[in-house]
Amino acid sequence: MADAALHPARPEAASAFRSPVTEPLGFRVFAIGVTVLLMALFLLLPLAAVFVEAFRFGLDKYLEVFKNPDAIGAIKLTLLVAAIAVPCNLIFGIAAAWSIAKYRFPGRAFLISLIDLPFSVSPVVAGLVYILLLGSNSAIGSWLLQDFGIRVIFAVPGVVLATIFVTFPFIARELIPLMEDQGNGDEEAAISLGASGWQAFWYVTLPNVKWALLYGVLLCNARAMGEFGAVAVLSGKLRGETVTMPLQVELFYNEYMTVAAFSLASVLAGLALVTLVVKSWLEWRYADQLATGARTH
């Protein structure tokens, strides 16, 4: 309406000075409005709801969940799993990015696609495949169980395995384009100055990618703590033993312990918010040293 009223008044101004790639004011207002509305509806509202539900009966009720042994067990397990999965993927990510960015070998392109597999495959499918491969009925699973007494499926190792699988691509994905972009030049320079391969890596390669690495670790950690699907399949949901925070939230909820469920969920949501803030800060401060345009400091 406002648009219709404005346009007849200043028709020349509107048509004469509009940038060729922009749309009329009405359309812009509409597009921005739809975006904001949908974001609020689908992202902000649920997030707010988590905290509202969690604090519905006051702070005391909210804090009660942190005395529940199941919840404490879930938090501990989640921290443990992240503490194992993130370093594993850190090492894998650096190794994969290094080999893909610095070497040319047959199957390289295939490997790049393969790294994305955990993104494209449903986590539930991944979980089921691991059960098939490592369950007590399988060759590997029974060998591990009988000869070493290690139970993988429906035990902590399974949860760790599932988490590693799901968070596989995060660090590698972040490093590969950056390292490809930076090329071998700096390493060659270091080696021509007498550095060993290890020194070149430690003093030159790693500092060159440190912010991208941190960025990747952050995303990897957030996903490791929040993963539900694959972990749900592999954990067997043994209370206090193989239940991580997201699983515990579901258990609480199914048992009508709504406040407990939302309180625990609020911790996860808080983690997500912190991740988001740090991520935005990294993007703002070190944008040039993340995945794009790394040539100019």
Partner 1 sequence: MELSIRNVQKEFGGFNALHEVSLDIRSGELIALLGPSGSGKTTLLRLIAGLDFPSSGQIFFGEEDASRKSVSERNVGFVFQHYALFRHMTVADNVAFGLKIRPAATRPTRAEIKRRALELLDLVQLSGLAHRYPSQLSGGQRQRVALARALAIEPRVLLLDEPFGALDAQVRRELRRWLREIHDATGHTTVFVTHDQEEALELADRVVVMSQGRIEQVGTADQVYDNPVSPFVYGFIGDSSTLPVRVEQGDVWFEDRSIGLRAPHVPDGEATLYFRPHDVELLDGCGGCIAGTAGVSRRVAGTKRVELAIGGAGHRVEIELPVDHPAATRSRIAFRPRRWKLFPARELAAAPATPLPEPVAA
Distances in Å between the Cα of 261 and the Cα atoms of 41, 66, 95, 232, 244 are: 22, 11, 39, 16, 13
Residue 190 or residue 260: which is nearer to partner 1 going by CB? Answer: 190
CB of 103 to partner 1, least distance (A): 15
CB of 205 to partner 1, least distance (A): 10
Among 68, 99, 138, 208, binds partner 1 (CB under 8 A): 208
Q: Is 297 in the site for partner 1 (CB under 8 A)?
A: yes
Element (H, E) at 1: none
- Which DSSP letter does residue 79 get? H
- Which of the stretches 65-73, 161-169, 202-210, 244-252 binds partner 1 when contact is defined by CB under 8 A? 202-210
Residue 122 or residue 199: which is nearer to partner 1 going by CB? Answer: 199
Which one, of 170, 144, 171, 172, lies nearest residue 157 by Cα? 144
Among 35, 199, 280, 292, binds partner 1 (CB under 8 A): 199
Site string for partner 1, 157-196 (x = CB under 8 A): ----------------------------xx-xxxxxxxxx
Residue 255 or residue 288: which is nearer to partner 1 going by CB? Answer: 288
Among 160, 176, 204, 217, binds partner 1 (CB under 8 A): 204
CB of 210 to partner 1, least distance (A): 8
Among 58, 87, 207, 293, binds partner 1 (CB under 8 A): 207
- How far apart are alpha carbons 81 and 164 in whole angstroms? 9
Give the other-Cβ count within 10 Å of 265's Cβ.
23
Distances in Å between the Cα of 157 and the Cα atoms of 152, 160, 177, 292 are: 5, 5, 32, 36
Residue 98 or residue 286: which is nearer to partner 1 going by CB? Answer: 286
CB of 181 to partner 1, least distance (A): 13
Which one, of 33, 101, 76, lies nearest residue 264 by Cα? 76
Q: Is 106 in the site for partner 1 (CB under 8 A)?
A: no
CB of 277 to partner 1, least distance (A): 25
- How far apart are alpha carbons 52 and 36 in whole angstroms? 21
CB of 289 to partner 1, least distance (A): 9
240: phi then psi, degrees, rounded to nearest 5:
75, -5
CB of 199 to partner 1, least distance (A): 5
What is the per-residue DSSP string for 11-58? HHHHHHSS-TT---HHHHHHHHHHHHHHHIIIIIHHHHHHHHHHTTTH
Q: Is 33 in the site for partner 1 (CB under 8 A)?
A: no
Asked whether the CA dihedral 245, 174, 176, 86 is positive or negative, the reply is: negative
Where along the sequence are the contacts to partner 1 (CB under 8 A)?
185-186, 188-196, 199, 203-204, 207-208, 210, 296-297
